[in-house]
A and B are shown apart, each in its own frame.
Chain A
């Protein structure tokens, strides 16, 4: 792979160390629980897809725990989710939207805003997997856990906690040439010499002429927007062809919304404190997680599962009705009793289409200090 130019990435060539790693993992005696970690843009997601493909033939179904709220594999941004996949990836380089088996709405694109809640979501999903597909299951499933690019600081601390909780059987660590940006060697999350899992170190696949790792260049903001657009496109029947964002914006504005009675749902702001009098001003024209509260666990943590995302189209306070559009099927919506507001923004490209411009997209917005003011 040395010397491969970024443009040559279109055709996937599996580096030898990657092939060895996937072979090792898929020949483990028991179904493995694999955590893939390493710095950002090194190729964790790509490797996870490859690994999933190589586990499928033997197990038929593979669990996938998606923990990267910024760039999720199967879900819209802001969600942690657990999936059971029985179909191989055809595109190893791009994420695809798939319905989750269980999902939590964290509501931000980085876990840093609320590590505790984030880990709670993650642990819940893992517990769910263990309960349903490991302990007592006649054919236990293997699990792949893809992590965000956690290497240092708060992220590192979270990774440690997560590894301690999950106790994986295999940890795959991606490494890049800039040594200081890698995770520590060995079983960094264990205090003393315990019997740990199989450790596999692999290298980022692309290198320049000096054998320095080339990180995958991503426009993460654009990716998130496209993700959300793809997600809300599901509101429109699939036989309608919508090729442009403009068409989608028209279609979404024309969609009859669901009526949700204010008294039937609770509103929870995940990352901001909003005074009760201002809730509707806060919620109008934003993306919300449609959640189902399920009481509390033995550990005292409250669980809310997320049925999907919705856009609040309007609020009629007098009538007590919120208007929501969402691709979530009606039968799932019936149990939704919680609207979670996070910080996931509606893609701007949907808000400024001529003909249906959002009132939150005005003109004449001062966005820098004009020179006239500076002379004063």
Chain B
């Protein structure tokens, strides 16, 4: 293995990039919008019915940037579907009877596998294909088949089937399993972050007297952790929601048995704190903080509540009781939150309102609030009836950006509104295929978007008679800001970026 070290290093770079380990150090463009989607496809591919997974991979392929191992794995699965030999395992109608054609398909897939992994390093280093293949552990038989089928006669179908199974297993180990292991366990992460937030939150309460620097530090830790949880929520909403729900349930269950489990452990280090519970009250504080940053979170949790109830239906009464408690609490929070948000959501999505200098309270908003409240009431009643279905089904495929900095909630909120709350009053725009929510862009609104850049001179903006003047988008809300505040924000910009 000694002399292979150098080779190994190069051969390992099978689809671009460098950096230590098998993981890319930064971000990489991929065709899936979340790891949950990736997992779904992975599980589908290795299940007896891979058709749906293959369909999704076809969509991925059309987006470009499909990793070689995904592409080739899909090819093997698809060929198997056509091979009468595997017919018993997977029942599909369009089997390919010609052995010749099947052999052709298998060898092409194998050829693409070997080339996909070693062609680039081969060109760069001049090492032979077989040397490179050995270095990254491609089964030798695949390398031989690549050679045979491109330069000699087509290998036998029997051999090819064996080789395809080997290739499939190799891909599973080298890509699917490795990538699975490389992903952080969201549940564990969320749990630990929530506990950390809780720890510092409580620390803050009882340590009012503590020196300012310490308090600042803990505030920083809290907001960092909240941001982190939020990011996790973007990638795996259902997991995050279910962890939060779990914690709620646990407390509800505990408190019904023995009333006090809380041990206030301020000086104990965090690792032991993790084992403690977070009370529902504390959770409420945390969830409130989280949903300030990400309003969709609450709805996400509700959705997962409903899913849980559906699956737990048969359980004994006590368990259900706990869930219902948690749910009612959440609903209460959600309805408050939604109302507030909607009231604060004026200017942007409604261009016309922006032009009137009197700001909020348009009929449209009130309607939306009423609608939202109605919806939530419906939720409540449905919960009580235990006749539940997924009402708040977020079918939006996904939005392009995940917005991270407060000043950019703008777009997100607009979409949010379209997706969840906007009443269907497109009548005025009927007849147009392309509708601009804000018919033409107001140049005045743009500087607001550009504010996070330190280069941008906020105070030097052209001041026109416009309602947005003197307002800044903070946390999805247009707030009136004074000159001093602007300067203060500006001075803080460097931390944001």
A-side residues, CB < 8 A to B, are 236-237, 239-240, 242-244, 246-247, 250-251, 253-261, 264-265, 269, 271-275, 277-282, 284-286, 311-319, 321, 323-324, 330, 333-334, 336-337, 341, 343, 345, 348, 351-352, 354-374, 376
Closest residue on chain A to residue B406 by CB atoms: A355
Closest residue on chain B to residue A313 by CB atoms: B400
Chain B residues contacting A330 (CB-CB under 8 Å) are 434, 436, 439-440
Assess A361 versus B29: contact at CB under 8 Å? Given A250-B449, A370-B12: yes
Residues B173 and A373 in contact, CB atoms below 8 Å apart: yes
Residues A273 and B58 in contact, CB atoms below 8 Å apart: yes
Assess A311 versus B400: contact at CB under 8 Å? Given A278-B56, A363-B27, A364-B182: yes
Chain B residues contacting A284 (CB-CB under 8 Å) are 33, 397-398, 400
Residues B62 and A341 in contact, CB atoms below 8 Å apart: yes
Residues B174 and A373 in contact, CB atoms below 8 Å apart: yes
Residues A321 and B418 in contact, CB atoms below 8 Å apart: yes
Residues A367 and B15 in contact, CB atoms below 8 Å apart: yes
Chain A residues contacting B28 (CB-CB under 8 Å) are 361-362, 365, 367
* Separation of A355 and B404 alpha carbons in the complex (Å): 4
Chain A residues contacting B27 (CB-CB under 8 Å) are 351-352, 357, 361-363, 365
* Separation of A369 and B170 alpha carbons in the complex (Å): 11
Chain B residues contacting A258 (CB-CB under 8 Å) are 434-436
* Separation of A360 and B117 alpha carbons in the complex (Å): 23
In order of increasing CB-CB distance, the 8 nearest A-B pairs are A370-B22, A278-B59, A356-B401, A272-B62, A254-B449, A355-B405, A333-B434, A282-B59
Residues B12 and A272 in contact, CB atoms below 8 Å apart: no
Residues A354 and B33 in contact, CB atoms below 8 Å apart: no
Residue in A251, A257, A361, A374 whose beta carbon sits within 8 Å of that of B446 in the complex: A251
Of B311-319, B363-371, B409-417, the segment with at least 4 beta carbons within 8 Å of chain A is B409-417
Residues B408 and A259 in contact, CB atoms below 8 Å apart: no
Residues A351 and B29 in contact, CB atoms below 8 Å apart: yes
Residue in A277, A280, A365 whose beta carbon sits within 8 Å of that of B23 in the complex: A365
Chain A residues contacting B439 (CB-CB under 8 Å) are 330
Residues A362 and B411 in contact, CB atoms below 8 Å apart: no
Write out, one digit per residue, whether chain B residues 49-81 have a CB within 8 A of any chain A CB (1) or not (0): 000000110111111110100000000000000
Residues A274 and B64 in contact, CB atoms below 8 Å apart: no
Residue in A240, A345, A364, A366 whose beta carbon sits within 8 Å of that of B175 in the complex: A366
- Give 6 pairs: A residue, B residue, CB < 8 Å, sorted on A: A237-B441, A258-B435, A282-B63, A284-B400, A343-B62, A356-B401
Residues B433 and A281 in contact, CB atoms below 8 Å apart: no
A239, A314, A318, A330 — which one has the most chain B CB atoms within 10 A of its CB? A314
Closest residue on chain B to residue A108 by CB atoms: B64
Chain B residues contacting A362 (CB-CB under 8 Å) are 27-28, 30, 34-35, 235
Q: How far is the CB of A323 from chain B (nearest CB, A)?
A: 7
Residues B449 and A272 in contact, CB atoms below 8 Å apart: no
Assess A250 versus B450: contact at CB under 8 Å? Given A274-B58, A316-B418: yes
Q: How far is the CB of B131 from chain A (nearest CB, A)?
A: 13
Closest residue on chain A to residue B447 by CB atoms: A240
Chain B residues contacting A236 (CB-CB under 8 Å) are 441, 446
Chain B residues contacting A279 (CB-CB under 8 Å) are 59
Closest residue on chain B to residue A277 by CB atoms: B55
Residues A247 and B436 in contact, CB atoms below 8 Å apart: no
Chain B residues contacting A256 (CB-CB under 8 Å) are 348-349, 411, 414, 436-438, 441
* Separation of A115 and B118 alpha carbons in the complex (Å): 29
CB contacts under 8 Å to A, within B70-117, are 117
Residues B398 and A373 in contact, CB atoms below 8 Å apart: no
Q: How far is the CB of A280 from chain B (nearest CB, A)?
A: 5
Q: Name 12 extra pairs, CB < 8 A, besides A313-B400, A345-B64.
A: A247-B453, A250-B452, A278-B56, A278-B59, A282-B63, A314-B397, A315-B396, A345-B29, A356-B403, A365-B30, A368-B12, A374-B137
Residue in A316, A352, A363 whose beta carbon sits within 8 Å of that of B396 in the complex: A316
Residues B33 and A359 in contact, CB atoms below 8 Å apart: yes
Chain A residues contacting B362 (CB-CB under 8 Å) are none
Closest residue on chain B to residue A242 by CB atoms: B450
* Separation of A315 and B418 alpha carbons in the complex (Å): 11
Is B467 close to A, CB under 8 A?
Answer: no
Residues B408 and A275 in contact, CB atoms below 8 Å apart: no
* Separation of A341 and B8 alpha carbons in the complex (Å): 38
Residues B415 and A314 in contact, CB atoms below 8 Å apart: yes
Chain A residues contacting B182 (CB-CB under 8 Å) are 364, 366
Closest residue on chain B to residue A257 by CB atoms: B437
A236, A265, A279, A362 — which one has the most chain B CB atoms within 10 A of its CB? A362
Write out, one digit per residue, whether chain B residues 1-33 have a CB within 8 A of any chain A CB (1) or not (0): 000000010011111110001111011111111
* Separation of A336 and B8 alpha carbons in the complex (Å): 52
Residues B402 and A282 in contact, CB atoms below 8 Å apart: no
Closest residue on chain A to residue B28 by CB atoms: A365
Residues B410 and A254 in contact, CB atoms below 8 Å apart: yes
Residue in A240, A260, A341, A358 whose beta carbon sits within 8 Å of that of B450 in the complex: A240
Chain B residues contacting A376 (CB-CB under 8 Å) are 137, 173
Assess A254 versus B30: contact at CB under 8 Å? Given A264-B433, A273-B58, A314-B398: no
Is B443 close to A, CB under 8 A?
Answer: yes
Chain B residues contacting A358 (CB-CB under 8 Å) are 400-402
* Separation of A291 and B117 alpha carbons in the complex (Å): 38
* Separation of A348 and B28 alpha carbons in the complex (Å): 9
* Separation of A366 and B17 alpha carbons in the complex (Å): 11
Write out, one digit per residue, whether chain B residues 360-389 have a CB within 8 A of any chain A CB (1) or not (0): 000000000000000000000000000000
Closest residue on chain A to residue B57 by CB atoms: A278
Is B472 close to A, CB under 8 A?
Answer: no
* Separation of A226 and B322 alpha carbons in the complex (Å): 56
Q: How far is the CB of A253 from chain B (nearest CB, A)?
A: 5
* Separation of A261 and B424 alpha carbons in the complex (Å): 13
* Separation of A164 and B377 alpha carbons in the complex (Å): 72
Chain B residues contacting A373 (CB-CB under 8 Å) are 22, 137, 173-174, 178
Chain A residues contacting B117 (CB-CB under 8 Å) are 369
Is B222 close to A, CB under 8 A?
Answer: no
Closest residue on chain A to residue B437 by CB atoms: A256
Residues A255 and B411 in contact, CB atoms below 8 Å apart: yes
Residues B56 and A369 in contact, CB atoms below 8 Å apart: no
* Separation of A319 and B14 alpha carbons in the complex (Å): 41
Is B455 close to A, CB under 8 A?
Answer: yes
Is B234 close to A, CB under 8 A?
Answer: yes
Chain B residues contacting A247 (CB-CB under 8 Å) are 450, 453, 455-456
Chain A residues contacting B438 (CB-CB under 8 Å) are 256
Is B179 close to A, CB under 8 A?
Answer: yes
A271, A319, A364 — which one has the most chain B CB atoms within 10 A of its CB? A364
Closest residue on chain A to residue B348 by CB atoms: A256
CB contacts under 8 Å to A, within B161-194, are 173-175, 178-179, 182-184
Q: How far is the CB of A324 from chain B (nearest CB, A)?
A: 7
